[in-house]
């Protein structure tokens, strides 16, 4: 039985529900007109998650659209390059086989309460645990929040809410842990955009939303 960290949709959104990737306040990913309007909302959403999040059984959360499961989603970057991940045929979900991703993500679990149990610690601990379970980062790195993702256009998206971060690594000394299910390499923004243009649907949904503004995200 797995328990996951959630927040009530009613505690997260008011009358306006965001769609897609929304950059944080003041971030370079925000267009000039967005920085004051959208960025303030990012801060409010994050604070709501910290103040009002709680754990429920995952199988219940998957069926209850009144709850949003909080998913840290982290890009691994070195300079102007990003780690591009490909899910291989031995992975768990067949629908993801061959899909490309620039984000490492997963649920926040009660184990993430190992740090002092404030919401902020839970979010940070869950982010780092998910990242380091899939990726071996053998160099110093900094972790920075850059925005959120919300996509209510599908049943899966309607019950999840992404907290987007960038892990900026000092070197490329990064390795995939489960090489039988995942492979990866650092590529530049132009390459990622060309893949998105020439192979529509190749990226996982959240990654596709970020690729559109990736060069700006990396400046945040």
Name the pTM for this structure.
0.87
Closest residue by Cα to residue 207 from 91, 82, 90? 82
Q: List, in order of start, the domains of the chain with CATH numbers.
A: 3-217 (3.90.79.10)
Q: Are 103 and 209 in contact (CB under 8 A)?
A: no
Q: Are 50 and 12 in contact (CB under 8 A)?
A: no
Q: What does the pLDDT profile of the chain (220 residues) look like in tens digits?
A: 899 999 999 999 987 789 999 987 655 455 544 444 445 788 889 899 999 999 999 999 999 999 999 999 999 999 999 999 998 866 555 455 578 999 999 999 999 987 544 445 799 999 999 999 999 999 999 999 999 999 998 898 999 999 999 999 999 999 999 888 889 999 999 999 999 999 988 999 999 999 988 987 888 7
**What DSSP string runs through 140-178?**
-EEEEEEEEEE-TTSTTGGGEEEEEEEEEESSS-EEES-
| Residue 8, helix vs strand vs coil | strand
What's the pLDDT score for residue 117?
Answer: 45
Q: First-to-last CA distance in the chain?
A: 38
């Amino acid at each position: 039985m797995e328990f996951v960290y959630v927040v009530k949709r009613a505690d997260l959104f008011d009358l306006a529900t965001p769609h897609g990737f929304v950059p944080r306040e003041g971030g370079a990913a925000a267009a000039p007109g967005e920085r004051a309007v959208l960025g303030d909302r990012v801060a409010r959403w994050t604070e709501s998650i910290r103040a009002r999040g709680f754990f429920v059984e995952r199988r219940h959360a998957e069926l209850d659209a009144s709850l949003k499961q909080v998913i840290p989603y982290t890009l691994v970057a070195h300079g102007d390059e990003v780690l591009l991940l490909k899910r291989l045929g031995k992975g768990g979900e067949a629908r993801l086989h061959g899909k490309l991703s620039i984000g490492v993500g997963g649920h926040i679990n009660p184990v993430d309460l190992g740090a002092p149990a404030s919401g902020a610690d839970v979010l940070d601990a869950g982010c780092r645990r998910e990242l380091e379970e899939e990726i071996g980062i053998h160099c110093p790195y900094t972790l920075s929040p850059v925005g959120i993702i919300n996509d209510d256009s599908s049943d899966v998206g309607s019950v999840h809410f992404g907290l987007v971060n960038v892990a900026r690594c000092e070197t490329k000394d990064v390795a995939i842990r489960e090489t039988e299910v995942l492979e990866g390499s650092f590529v530049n923004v132009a390459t990622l955009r060309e893949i998105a243009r020439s192979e529509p649907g190749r990226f996982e949904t959240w990654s596709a939303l970020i690729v559109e503004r990736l060069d700006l995200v990396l400046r945040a």
